[in-house]
Amino acid sequence: MDPKASRGSYSEGVGFEAIAFVLVTAVGLGSSIAIARLFGVEVLGEYALAFAPYYILNNLSSVREQAAFARRIAVLPARDPQITGLWAAMFGFSTALTAGMGALVLLVTWLIFSGPMGRPELFGLAVIPIVFSLLVFNPSWNLDRVFTTFRAGPILLRMRVTQALLTASMMIIAGIAWGTTLSLVLAETLSWIPLLAWRIVAVRRYMRLVVPVSVLREGASSLREIVSFGLKLTPGTLAEAALNQAGTWIIGLFSPLAALGAYSRAWQLVRRVMELRARISEMLFPTLIERRDAGDLAGADRALADTMRYVLTGLTLIAAAGGGAAVGVMEVFGEGFVVASDALVFLLLVPPLAICSFVQFQSMWALNRPTASSVISLVRAGVGLPLMAVLTWQMGIAGCALGQVIAYAAGLIVITAVTARSMTSPLQVLFTVRQAVAIPLAYGAGFVVSRLVDDQLDALLMLPVSLVAGAAAYSVVAVVVGGRSPRDRDRVRRLRARLAR
């Protein structure tokens, strides 16, 4: 069987992921406003602390074994028995690691909550998402890796939009009925259970659920290779997690709970954008593996360079429009949230810098150079963490966000230089100087226009006008200065045809 027969193309996969991202983000933004107004800034501050240990566990409980698993099955046909054997080995290891690290995280959480933070009453809330991580979240993510490696864009689109709608609905109902931190935590965690059942049913198209014991033994024998590759990525994963999660802990130590609640809502907006990192890498990484395995090095370089360009162009548009209207955006959440508006301006710059770096890490992994990405991530975190602490002490929550941006910008410069040397096609040919210059110019235009409109139209109902005006200004400058390549037009045409079918 042709291993590509059951896989969508890279362009189609990214297209469906982009549509899912837009829809899920729209649902998330709308629900975030409702949730903030229903629960208030104090409850959201407690919610941020309750979920902070879970986010740490989310990174500690992985040695990037899913990336190693994807490398192995990227060239296998759908329902090949080897997929089930490899998946079972990966899932068993991941479950054991999650259980062990979960116990450690809970111990440290108890010591911190009952000690420096003086919030022992939040420990029980922190236990809930960690337990669900073991029972529900972890199997869901492992099943998703099968869908993404086969670039199953349509089913992923339906699942992710359904998940977003269900989670938003349950959280809003919890706010109306109870309005407590416990109800908010339970609503988010319980909403994942129906989707786990859906994943188990749908994955049978790509992976057999029942295989001979000999296949499982063969998969277990491959675990060492999978874990060995993943362990080389682990230091970078931990450094990335520390840099992203440090803001909550630093502000929790230096600032009152209300400030943490405002910052957490701004970071929640950014985290929704950051989800695009996983969505893109899920499609890009197996594509790079496939093309390099087939000897199509030029095709792999095109996919990498174009993805970098799309990420920077699309996400700086969001940063320009949202950053310019940051005051209006934070006012939407209600009283007390506007103090995080300056922080939001900086935080919105994190996704384009972080995701463009992560895209290039995929190239390092495809070239079997995982250590290079880990070293860069460690150095980036080593610079960023103390900088965030110092700037928070000097400038407040905006300083914390600024320190994070500086760290990611420095890291992007380094990884781009490393990536360019490893490409067979010159990066400046695939991602031209004209296209690169257009991005900061468009950002400046979009930010200024959005800020001017937001200042003039001082009303919450006019916020969409500010955002649209900023996005329009960005788009005009980006197209006029940067232009569009023939590859862009061809991809849009093919995606429209696929959506029509």
Residue type, 414: V
Element (H, E) at 493: helix 486-500
Q: Which two tokens stand for residue 185?
A: 């935590």
pLDDT at 244: 81
Query: Can you say how many angstroms the Cα of residue 296 is from the centroid of all Cα atoms in its chain?
Result: 28
Q: Which two tokens stand for residue 441?
A: 């110019």
- In the predicted structure, residue 191 carries a pLDDT above the cut 80: yes
The rounded distance, in Å, linking the Cα atoms of 374 and 382 is 12
pLDDT at 451: 92
Q: Which residue has the tokens 């093919």?
A: 494
pLDDT at 474: 95
pLDDT at 430: 87
- In the predicted structure, residue 34 carries a pLDDT above the cut 70: yes
pLDDT at 412: 93
pTM above 0.85, yes or no: no
pLDDT tier, 499 (very low <50, low <70, confident <90, very high otherwise): low
The rounded distance, in Å, linking the Cα atoms of 299 and 290 is 10
Ranked by mean pLDDT, which of 17-26, 33-42, 133-142, 455-464 comes out on top? 133-142
DSSP string, 74-142: TTSPTT-HHHHHHHHHHHHHHHHHHHHHHHHHHHHHHHHHHTTS--GGGHHHHHHHHHHIIIIIHHHHH
25 CB neighbour count, 10 Å cutoff? 17
If we measure between CA atoms, which residue out of 56, 420, 390 comes closest to residue 240? 56
If we measure between CA atoms, which residue out of 241, 245, 223 comes closest to residue 233? 241
Q: Which of 277-281, 378-382, 440-444 has the lowest mean pLDDT?
A: 277-281
Tens-digit pLDDT profile for residues 416-426: 999 998 888 88
In the chain, domain spans: 10-496
Helix (H, G, I), strand (E, B) or coil at 4: coil
Query: Can you say how many angstroms the Cα of residue 385 is from the centroid of all Cα atoms in its chain?
Result: 20
Are the C-beta atoms of residues 312 and 356 closer than 8 Å to each other?
yes
Q: What is the mean pLDDT of residues 118-130?
A: 91
- In the predicted structure, residue 36 carries a pLDDT above the cut 60: yes
- In the predicted structure, residue 82 carries a pLDDT above the cut 90: yes
pLDDT at 455: 82
Are the C-beta atoms of residues 43 and 184 closer than 8 Å to each other?
yes
Are the C-beta atoms of residues 216 and 236 closer than 8 Å to each other?
no
Beta-carbon-side half-sphere exposure of residue 24 (alpha carbons within 13 Å): 23
Q: Which of 15-24, 34-43, 72-81, 225-234 has the lowest mean pLDDT?
A: 225-234
Q: What is the mean pLDDT of residues 44-64?
A: 80
pLDDT at 198: 96
Tens-digit pLDDT profile for residues 445-455: 999 999 999 88
pLDDT tier, 292 (very low <50, low <70, confident <90, very high otherwise): confident
pLDDT at 62: 64
Q: What is the mean pLDDT of residues 80-91?
A: 93
124 CB neighbour count, 10 Å cutoff? 12
- In the predicted structure, residue 322 carries a pLDDT above the cut 80: yes
If we measure between CA atoms, which residue out of 402, 416, 476 comes closest to residue 446? 476
The rounded distance, in Å, linking the Cα atoms of 369 and 199 is 32
pLDDT at 2: 41
Local structure of residue 425 (DSSP, 8 states) = S
pLDDT at 3: 43
Q: Which two tokens stand for residue 389?
A: 């602490």
The rounded distance, in Å, linking the Cα atoms of 248 and 88 is 35
The rounded distance, in Å, linking the Cα atoms of 66 and 139 is 12
pLDDT tier, 146 (very low <50, low <70, confident <90, very high otherwise): very high
Q: Which two tokens stand for residue 169?
A: 């609905």
Q: Which residues contact 218 (CB under 8 A, 6 or more apart)?
A: 82, 85
The rounded distance, in Å, linking the Cα atoms of 24 and 280 is 15
The rounded distance, in Å, linking the Cα atoms of 55 and 51 is 6
- In the predicted structure, residue 240 carries a pLDDT above the cut 90: no
Ranked by mean pLDDT, which of 36-45, 229-238, 399-408 comes out on top? 399-408
pLDDT tier, 405 (very low <50, low <70, confident <90, very high otherwise): very high
Helix, strand and coil percent figures for the chain, each rounded to 5: 85, 0, 15
- In the predicted structure, residue 491 carries a pLDDT above the cut 50: yes
Are the C-beta atoms of residues 447 and 324 closer than 8 Å to each other?
yes
pLDDT at 231: 75
Q: What is the CA radius of gyration of the chain?
A: 22
* CA-based max dimension of the chain: 70
Bigger pLDDT: 52 vs 226 = 52
The rounded distance, in Å, linking the Cα atoms of 141 and 191 is 15
Average pLDDT across the chain, whole number: 87
Q: What is the mean pLDDT of residues 330-353?
A: 89
pLDDT at 1: 40
